[in-house]
Amino acid sequence: DIQMTQSPSTLSASVGDRVTITCRASESISSWLAWYQQKPGKAPKLLIYKASSLESGVPSRFSGSGSGTEFTLTISSLQPDDFATYYCQHYNSFSGTFGQGTKVEIK
């Protein structure tokens, strides 16, 4: 099974900061990667698919990059609504594997 490893596990940041979260795959997954945002007690929300495609309705301050085994989610200017946990997910026609999550906290 392909393993997905996110770093850091927790990130403390301030409003207006540029934030970067990394996701590494145990083997090449091309660009089959998604990013989700989850707030407490809520279902995850799709932000990015196919590594860098912005889901409709998602603010442009979110961006994704990478291919192969290393991927990043960047929030260009952190907003109060962005404090949440973020998950990467490798997906293909056979299965899907999530990372362990990165919690973005208020500094």
Any contact of residue 49 with other proteins (CB under 8 A)?
yes
Binds other proteins (CB under 8 A): choice among 14, 43, 80, 81: 43
Structure tokens at 62: 């979110």
Select the span of 16-24, 46-54, 62-70, 73-81 touching other proteins (CB under 8 A). 46-54
Select the span of 20-28, 47-55, 59-67, 70-78 touching other proteins (CB under 8 A). 47-55
Any contact of residue 94 with other proteins (CB under 8 A)?
yes
Any contact of residue 62 with other proteins (CB under 8 A)?
no
Binds other proteins (CB under 8 A): choice among 1, 60, 80, 81: 1
Contact in structure between 78 and 16 (CB atoms under 8 Å) = yes
CA–CA distance, 52 with 62 (Å, rounded to integer): 10
Cα dist from 33 to 37, 43, 45, 62, whole Å: 14, 18, 14, 15
Q: Which amino acid, one-letter code, is at 49?
A: Y
Any contact of residue 91 with other proteins (CB under 8 A)?
yes
DSSP string, 74-87: EESS--GGG-SEEE
Binds other proteins (CB under 8 A): choice among 15, 59, 92, 105: 92
